[in-house]
């Protein structure tokens, strides 16, 4: 018996990045690192800010796709720390930008994050990337 896919909003994540570090053409593709210097996240169950110090390792491939590999630390408004990573794919020709976030936290209130899988719908806005992240139920 198959279970249909249901999801519900988890958070909207906004990232602020500084000047890129252009590693250049490597055997894996063209690697550009986007240092994360801040940002915010907001959802019904959690909200807070993105701490400086993370980044997104973005590789452009020969087939027109871009893969993402992000790690950041989130700090909730009640001072919980959440380690967040995602991998993802961007295919601008098809307006496709999706990520698969994962979370790790030691804070009991947010332990539900350790137990879920999620999907992010990414958008590039003038003020920076925005990810609409949904929990897969």
Residues 6+ apart with CB under 8 A from 16: 36, 37, 38, 39, 50, 128
Quote the least distance from Cβ 5 to another protein, whole Å: 5
**What is the binding site for another protein (CB under 8 A)?**
1-5, 7, 63, 65, 87-89, 91, 94, 96, 98-100, 102, 111, 114-117, 119, 121, 134, 136
Q: Which helix (H) or strand (E) holds 125?
A: strand 117-125
* Residue closest to 85 by CA, chosen among 102, 106, 98: 102
Distance CA 120, CA 128 (A): 15
Task: Give the nearer residue to another protein in terms of CB position, either 21 or 117.
Answer: 117
Quote the least distance from Cβ 17 to another protein, whole Å: 22
Distance between the two ends of the chain, CA-based, in angstroms?
Answer: 16
Task: Give the nearer residue to another protein in terms of CB position, either 83 or 98.
Answer: 98
Quote the least distance from Cβ 68 to another protein, whole Å: 11
Task: Give the nearer residue to another protein in terms of CB position, either 53 or 116.
Answer: 116
């Amino acid at each position: 018996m198959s279970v249909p896919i249901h999801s519900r909003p988890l958070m909207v994540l906004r990232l602020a990045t500084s000047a890129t570090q252009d590693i250049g053409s490597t055997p894996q593709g063209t690697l550009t690192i986007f240092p994360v210097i801040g940002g915010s996240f907001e959802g019904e169950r959690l909200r807070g800010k993105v701490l400086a110090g993370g980044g997104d390792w973005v590789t452009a491939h020969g087939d027109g796709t871009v893969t993402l590999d992000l790690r950041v630390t989130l700090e909730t408004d009640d001072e919980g720390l959440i380690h967040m990573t995602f991998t993802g794919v961007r295919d601008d020709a098809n307006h496709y930008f999706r990520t698969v976030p994962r979370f790790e936290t030691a804070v009991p209130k947010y332990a539900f994050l350790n137990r879920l899988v999620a999907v992010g719908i990414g958008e590039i806005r003038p003020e920076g990337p925005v990810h609409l992240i949904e929990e897969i139920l």
